[in-house]
Structure 1
């Protein structure tokens, strides 16, 4: 049996965390709930740390902002390299 990595959207994660809360409220253990939802305990704790208390819209917005932030960081790095190259050309160090 091969393990496949599943990718969950932020909305799915928040929904699953809601299910976890409901099942824990029924007296089940974290291990039992994770097994039932087919999620590793480590994944549950990571999700709880990152998305705990968020609504689905908030989680989606967070992911969008993280993606936008990564794009802006990449653009800034490229601009810095371009600036350094132009500075070297202007000084005649080529």
Structure 2
């Protein structure tokens, strides 16, 4: 894959120009990039937030399951200790 001549901070700076009201065609002409490149960058650098949110939600769900398992195991361990000490 061909390496971009723009760094990630430069790409983000270019993409932010659209939010300031500049037209995509003018931005692309100014930075000597094609419109498809601009939209690919936009997809790559500005939309991972939604994927990150989904991943975070999945991780939080998994973590809550692990916490539940830990609580159950701790309860079982304490119960077994109590039974063991009562027999002695």
* TM-score (structure 2 length as normaliser): 0.46
Greater fraction helix: 2
Relative contact order (C-alpha < 8 Å, sep 6+): which is higher? 1
- Largest Rg, 1 or 2: 2
